[in-house]
A and B are shown apart, each in its own frame.
Chain A
């Protein structure tokens, strides 16, 4: 069964701290992996998309890595800010023939001023 798991479910850190969010997936045959941010009551904002052939992507203070062989991705957030508080979702597009992203349940991040 194709699943995506995110650990931890919730995380609180003081402002300025660097942090890592984890995502694991069950099948290494993927097209891509996408990290999203979701604010309460809002839709999903795409943060980073990593294609299967790539190892990492960077955007500002965000860096996402992909290790297909181990079925893992990490989202690194540098110098966290209170505005980073949100739920972060990892989603995988498997090559299995399914026509959709498979999502994890997310990590709820709180950055304390």
Chain B
């Protein structure tokens, strides 16, 4: 079946622009996660949804970052007034079970470059 998909795959933004990154999880998956991966580093947690509820946003680095999942399926990560330090790969993952400690399936990521 189809895996997790993300779009766009690549995004170049000028400093100060707003961007929106989309994640389509595996159909029926309850849990959805966003991670940020800087060059040469492991992914770092941003936020977690269970269905449409955002249960944890402790990893969002600033109030310029906002995520939503209004109908409990597709999720969008929005970054306002982008800065150079926002350049990274943004990974989305989904998991089939309620609760958190189950196998996560990752999408290909969106590589954001802020110039």
Contacts and interface: CB of A to CB of B under 8 A. Distances in A.
Interface residues of B, number: 27
Interface residues of A, number: 24
A42 B91 CA distance: 10
Interface in B76-115: 91, 93, 100-101, 103-109, 111
Interface of A: 4, 31-32, 34, 36, 41-46, 49, 89, 91, 93, 98-106
19 contacts: A4-B42, A31-B100, A31-B101, A41-B111, A43-B6, A43-B107, A44-B91, A44-B93, A45-B106, A46-B104, A46-B105, A49-B103, A89-B42, A91-B43, A99-B45, A99-B55, A100-B100, A101-B33, A102-B45
Interface string B36-63: 0000111111001000000110110000
